[in-house]
Structure 1
Amino acid sequence: MKMQIMQHINELLEEARKYNERRLIVLSGERTQSYKIVREFLKEYEGKVAYVAYIEENLPFVESYHIKDCDKLLGTTYDILIMDIYHSFQPADLGKLYGIVRGGGLIFLIVPRLEEWKNMLNRYHYHILTPPYNEKDVRKNFIRWFVEKMWKHDGIAIIEDGKIIKRGNFESRLIKRKKIEIPEEIKFDRKVYEIAITQEQVDFLKLAEELLEKNFAIVLKANRGRGKSSVIGMAIAALIAKVEKAKVIVIAPNRKNVDEIFRFLGISLDKMGIEYKNRGGIILAKNSMVKFMEPFDAYNEKADLIVVDEAASIAPHILLRYLENSDKLIYSSTIHGYEGAGRSFSIRFLKRLREMKAPFKEFEMEEPIRYSQNDPIEKWVFDTLLLDAEPASIEKVELGKLEYEKIDMNKVIELESKIRQFFGILIMAHYKNNPNDFAILCDAPNQVARALSYDEKIVCSMQIAIEGKLGRKDCDETYYKSVMIPGNIIPQVLIRHYRKKRYGKYRGMRIVRIATHPDFFGRGIGSYAVKMVENEAMQAGMDYIGVSFGATIPLLKFWMKNGFVPIHVTPTVNRVSGENSLIVMKPLNKKFEKELESIRKDFVKRFMLWLIEPLRDFNSNLSLMIIDSYKREMENSGLMKTT
């Protein structure tokens, strides 16, 4: 049997090399036996191997990483990935790591026996378990979905307890990489062009040459693994080589996001024979400086060129602000991936650029750098993690005929089409979605999915958290020690800031996400959805509904129009969005309405003081909206005299 397994693994390796694709080998069953297979394979294998695990074993000839450090592998390339998800599995980790394996390589997944795994609690379940729920309340739907997708997709072998129960052979199509043709007339140093791996990278460099003489923005879009970060680094190097002096700002939510840009910036400068100094996030070359900055820190930073990486994860108003700081910009975004939804971002963002009459050019990269376009493992990952989910095509909607649906995540496999529509809308609207959100909705006992549909097609998606009804211990720890209560944002804020432990006993629905189909904005669908959630909450005997969001004028107007009132503003600004978080609530019974009156009174007093410091830079129009809303409440209740 051992010979058969090794023979099949080597077959898959040869197949992967033939087609420049990857193959996936799932090792399920006893962990020790799975590691025996891995060790046997590594004895004869010569290549670069990455090993990622929650509980690490001693493996020869590998580079080992704890699974919490998997971000360190972004932008790297390996021949083999061994990913042990036996004890803990966050879907976003797979979304990050599947792309590091080049064509001709293998990915090993080490998991429990499949039928047992479907019913097991792993460490991620404990991470998403929130008070007052316990282990028995955890749903176990995501792994069922995950296993089902492994059975359905090509290029995936499953070896359980030393037996091959699914062969991974896949006769693919041989797709030859296009021969690179560098234009005869170029302005950049030819040595930079010669670093390019695909024709698309060459074409992007040719477009970037125009920035030497023209002022405009480039909007670069690509899936992960298409070489966009590397070609941006090449373009920056080529640009600063052609000018006497330049200041370049590279912006991203996290410095790790731009490691590949800086790496290829250095490679390109070396190729051109330009000396430079790397001071960790700052590169000095000739008389030029390339500097990394976080989005909010760069808000007022002027530069000759601004590069924004993973732009889909940055608030649109900040992205547009950069247009005032530089005449030359490159906005880069992932189309489908764990980082966010670049396709929807680009639709919205390009619309804003057109409205502002800002000059820009689009460029999309499709050819993978590391593996063939027909790679079955990328197809499996996209399908399994819903990275390619999109809204349904809908021609018309009648508000009066919308149906309120409680989507049963216990039927995730049976309702796949509807769930894809549901997440497609969320992805279109919320640039911070990642695969973990799907797993949370599948398994977390405090999370539910609600939707409005028309003619069986989803028009509005809502992710809702059930909060409150906390035990004495949780209320005490928050009150006395400011201990965070997972999944209970509003009760936690009420106890910590308004100093009454009883606030934790109230029960409510917090709208985590709400999004309307992009073709039907401004039709009152969002307000109707909120009303339906309110009706459900009242019927369930809830005390309130609430929401926490990044404070903007349009969002606050929406929630206030629907009867919600502000009760808390965070004193600190989110460094990526540049926004303070704002919590608004709506009482559902007389008892909590009375509590909310007291909370509101304390909030407004505190808010007025905080406007001196730490909310000194808080948006003045938002401040007026918050204060005026309270003033109107007082006037309507007769507690304030009007003149």
Structure 2
Amino acid sequence: MTTDPTSAPEHAWSDLQAALAAQGHRRLVLVEGDQQHALAWIRQQLPQLNTSHSLWIGRPEHAEAVGMPHLQASQYRQWLGRETSLLIWDGWQGNPPDAIAALSGTLQAGGLLFWLMPALASWPDHADPDYARTGLEQAQNHPFAARLARKLAQDPSVIRVRARASAPPDLPELPTQGSPFLPGTTEQQQDLIQQLLHFGQGRRRRPLVITADRGRGKSAALGIAAARLLLAGRQRVIVTAPSRDNLHSLFRHAVLELAEDLAEQSEVELITRGGQRLSFVPVRELLFERPEAEVVLVDEAAGLPAHWLRDILLGWPRVAFASTVHGYEGTGRGFAIRFRDILDRETPQWRGVSIQQPVRWAPGDPLEKLVFEMFLLAAEGPASSIADAAQVTLETWSPSQASEVELAEAFGLLVDAHYRTTPADLRQWLDDPAAQSWRALYQGRTVGVLWGAVEGGLSEELADQVVQGKRRLRGHLLAQSLASHGGFPEAAKLRTLRIVRIAVSEQARHLGIGRRLVAAAATACQQQGLDTLGTSFGGNRGLLAFWQASGLQVVRVGLQQEATTGEFPLQLLQGLSPAGTCLAQRLRARFAHHWQVLIPRHWSVMDPHLLAAVGADLPPLHGLDAEDRRDLTAFAEGFRGFELTLPVLQALAAGQGAMTWFSTQPALALWCHVVLQGWSWREVQLAGLCTGQRDGEQQLRQLVCQLLQNGPEL
């Protein structure tokens, strides 16, 4: 409905909030008009609103003028775990999709989200200030914003207000119902609490993985269960999360549960009269100091790198992980899929618990339904199996022109296949003018999708500035990285299609569909006169093998682990033009010369199998001479010391076929850790790879002896 405001009749807004609270619902109020009039209008309405738990997202001076707490949209993670009754979002300051999706989940029943924006008709052309952060400010139009505008215009629950109109708003009259909604524990939440108690008092190495949408009370359940575990005799329960700010709800419910048994309280710890403690410990501190605790609870686990989750899993006897399924991270299912592999391998007796019933609002809440539709938070790929892979067809595809069903299927594939897929990714995919996409179809359903973006094509002057570190450009991730870190300005001058994401439905994997999508992209690149096809991803053996089978080769490895996955970024390239092929070869040759020098400094913790796979992919360096082979023989026969032979062993690893051969040997991890990654004998002993230096050296001597007898030609 479109209404005309100045000031609403007395109590109109408070009556609406009360009626919504009775229903257990929340609403979006879209305030359309220029910024000046929208701000003036919202200030006029505030005296009639319940602002007891309010938040202003926008400029601090605007919030301070009306006495409200404020937050920049980029700081939204600081507010997660709290509850609000009123949100005012100044969209004129920028609209990061992840932040909107996240903070809408903090609203309680009866809550209102006021969104101050231009008129809906102008959204496709509106220059959102947030575009500059992601390189979208150069786009001529914005299909993502146009799609949001259509959703808002079609949703009858949205209260639309014209900021410059003269008449008061015509607020909806909500039907009354017999019994009002009362926020409280649900059966599923009570069951979760009981399962947490059983887990926390039960046997070791049986982790619990909890997944739920926002507003389902999982953090509250963690707090209640933690308090009850202390009262039942556990001496220390540690809780960790991406930020202390994520844990307001958990600690608040723990305080209420402990009641008179609570003796001391601080921002990071609760201590009972019996001396038991519930402590917040930041993840880095937890993993560095390794404090003792019978139980560790990880909230918002999807916001932590996978390698940290694994270290926590293996570092304490009882660990529970809780994560949002559909939220600002967009990572719930991707997290569950990726982390499940670690759980299955390390703790096969883990259990999963899922909560669907909302706690803070009633089922069917209009705002939750709207946010889910706007950002495709519940998007899922098709689950149909493929009887005949030959019937799968490929086609170029534009997500911005797709139907809602097609877009949801394709985006759902990305969510399922990748560790972290967010609403911001949806905006980037739809709006980026450099994007190109292909999809695989089977019986009319999308079973595979590839999203690429054209990068590079910079002038010689600009490319030189990138190499010198004087300029950084958004929208050129791979081209810029290869130019600045690889040291070749040609990487920024030539044109590359970077494969941003590729995904195939679980039922359609291992049928060659992914390789066909890459091949289709490569063919299109050649037709368009592009020079290279490349990708950058968090490296693991399976993905590396896929890209190698698709024709791409390693040209660079990032020096630091990715924050999202804990994996080292691998960059691969395939030359398509003569200039692109030459660039790929030069990048590979230069990286091969630098590779071993950098391993102990930057990749000392890389998985040995991945290390071996990268080494095997690189072009070999010069072969061994007669003196080198003599030293190897002397080492294998037990006469020459390890330290004196180490330079030759490292040269051996860079030879033709050596790392391919080592990767098939049981002692691969020992070889990589000691010869390439610079581990001490004490470190490899603690890792269980040898009983000490003498045993470790003997294993290496036997390994070299086998290589001399059965390995590749040196």
Q: 2:152 aligns with which of 117, 132, 150?
A: 150
Distance 1:102 1:456 in 2: 41
SS of 1:275's partner is strand
Amino acid corresponding to residue 161 of structure 2 in structure 1: I
SS of 1:123's partner is coil
1:586 aligns with 2:574: yes
Maintained 8 Å contact 1:459/1:516: yes
Offset at residue 586 of structure 1 (A): 1.0
Offset at residue 526 of structure 1 (A): 1.3
Change (3 A) 1:263 1:123: same
Maintained 8 Å contact 1:249/1:292: yes
Change (3 A) 1:121 1:2: closer
Distance 1:167 1:149 in 2: 21
Q: 1:237 aligns with which of 207, 227, 235?
A: 227
Offset at residue 546 of structure 1 (A): 0.9
In the alignment, which residue of structure 1 is the partner of 2:62? 57
Question: Which segment drifts farther, 205-214 or 302-311?
Answer: 302-311
Q: 1:81-100 to 2 correspondence within 5 Å?
A: 81-100=87-106
CA displacement 1:366-411 (0-9 Å, x = unmatched): 2323221121011000011100111124232533332223322442
Q: 1:425 aligns with which of 385, 410, 413?
A: 413
Q: 1:389 aligns with which of 379, 399, 412?
A: 379
Q: 1:369 aligns with which of 359, 362, 365?
A: 359
Distance 2:605 2:337 in 1: 31
Change (3 A) 1:299 1:316: farther
Change (3 A) 1:623 1:361: closer
Offset at residue 158 of structure 1 (A): 0.9
Distance 2:175 2:500 in 1: 42
Identity of aligned residues (%): 23
Distance 1:633 1:589 in 2: 25
Change (3 A) 1:467 1:353: same
Equivalences, count: 617
In the alignment, which residue of structure 1 is the partner of 2:496? 508
Q: 2:466 aligns with which of 478, 496, 502?
A: 478
Bigger RCO of structures 1 and 2 (CA < 8 A, at least 6 apart): 1
Maintained 8 Å contact 1:51/1:83: yes
In the alignment, which residue of structure 2 is the partner of 1:274? 262
Question: Which segment drifts farther, 14-23 or 292-301?
Answer: 292-301
Question: Which segment drifts farther, 303-312 or 117-126?
Answer: 303-312
SS of 1:336's partner is coil
1:221 aligns with 2:223: no
Question: Which segment drifts farther, 357-366 or 446-455?
Answer: 357-366
Maintained 8 Å contact 1:447/1:465: yes
1:340 aligns with 2:344: no
SS of 1:591's partner is helix
In the alignment, which residue of structure 1 is the partner of 2:447? 459
Q: 1:212 aligns with which of 201, 212, 217?
A: 201
Q: 2:550 aligns with which of 559, 562, 581?
A: 562
Q: 1:615-626 to 2 correspondence within 5 Å?
A: 615-626=603-614
Offset at residue 95 of structure 1 (A): 0.4
Q: 1:126-205 to 2 correspondence within 5 Å?
A: 126-129=132-135, 135=138, 137-160=139-162, 161-162=164-165, 169=172, 197-205=185-193
Distance 1:289 1:78 in 2: 25
Change (3 A) 1:423 1:296: farther
Distance 2:552 2:538 in 1: 15
Maintained 8 Å contact 2:9/2:168: no
Q: 1:27 aligns with which of 12, 31, 47?
A: 31
Change (3 A) 1:374 1:19: same
Amino acid corresponding to residue 537 of structure 1 in structure 2: C
In the alignment, which residue of structure 2 is the partner of 1:73? 79
Distance 1:499 1:4 in 2: 62
SS of 2:287's partner is coil
1:15 aligns with 2:3: no
Maintained 8 Å contact 2:189/2:221: yes
Question: Which segment drifts farther, 345-354 or 447-456?
Answer: 345-354
In the alignment, which residue of structure 1 is the partner of 2:626? none
Change (3 A) 1:410 1:47: closer
Distance 2:173 2:419 in 1: 35
Amino acid corresponding to residue 417 of structure 2 in structure 1: A
Maintained 8 Å contact 2:7/2:44: no
Q: Any stretches of 5+ residues in structure 2 without a counterpart?
A: 624-654, 658-711
Q: 1:515-554 to 2 correspondence within 5 Å?
A: 515-554=503-542
Distance 1:547 1:72 in 2: 33
In the alignment, which residue of structure 2 is the partner of 1:294? 283
SS of 1:459's partner is strand
SS of 1:498's partner is coil
Offset at residue 608 of structure 1 (A): 0.7
Distance 1:580 1:410 in 2: 32
CA displacement 1:566-604 (0-9 Å, x = unmatched): 111122223453221111111112222122222111101
Maintained 8 Å contact 1:251/1:308: yes
Amino acid corresponding to residue 456 of structure 2 in structure 1: G
Maintained 8 Å contact 2:6/2:165: no
Q: 2:314 aligns with which of 287, 305, 324?
A: 324
Distance 2:180 2:19 in 1: 17
Offset at residue 295 of structure 1 (A): 7.3
Offset at residue 169 of structure 1 (A): 3.4
Offset at residue 305 of structure 1 (A): 1.8
Distance 2:443 2:213 in 1: 32
User: What TM-score, normalized by structure 2, do the two folds share?
Assistant: 0.79
Q: 2:51 aligns with which of 34, 47, 51?
A: 47
Change (3 A) 1:437 1:551: same
Change (3 A) 1:253 1:405: farther
Amino acid corresponding to residue 469 of structure 1 in structure 2: G
Distance 2:453 2:269 in 1: 42
1:250 aligns with 2:239: yes
In the alignment, which residue of structure 2 is the partner of 1:406? 396
Offset at residue 28 of structure 1 (A): 0.3
In the alignment, which residue of structure 2 is the partner of 1:597? 585
Maintained 8 Å contact 2:97/2:375: yes
Offset at residue 303 of structure 1 (A): 4.6
Maintained 8 Å contact 1:548/1:581: yes
Maintained 8 Å contact 2:59/2:70: no
Distance 1:406 1:620 in 2: 38
Offset at residue 564 of structure 1 (A): 1.5
Distance 1:3 1:542 in 2: 57
CA displacement 1:348-370 (0-9 Å, x = unmatched): 65576567673233332223232
Q: Any stretches of 5+ residues in structure 1 without a counterpart?
A: 181-195
Distance 2:85 2:494 in 1: 54
SS of 1:612's partner is helix
Q: 1:114 aligns with which of 110, 115, 120?
A: 120
Maintained 8 Å contact 2:96/2:130: yes
Question: Which segment drifts farther, 620-629 or 437-446?
Answer: 620-629
Distance 1:150 1:109 in 2: 11
Change (3 A) 1:71 1:351: closer
Maintained 8 Å contact 1:129/1:445: no
Change (3 A) 1:179 1:15: closer
Question: Which segment drifts farther, 428-437 or 9-18?
Answer: 9-18
Offset at residue 113 of structure 1 (A): 1.8
Offset at residue 61 of structure 1 (A): 3.9
User: What TM-score, normalized by structure 1, do the two folds share?
Assistant: 0.87
Distance 1:42 1:306 in 2: 43
SS of 2:559's partner is coil
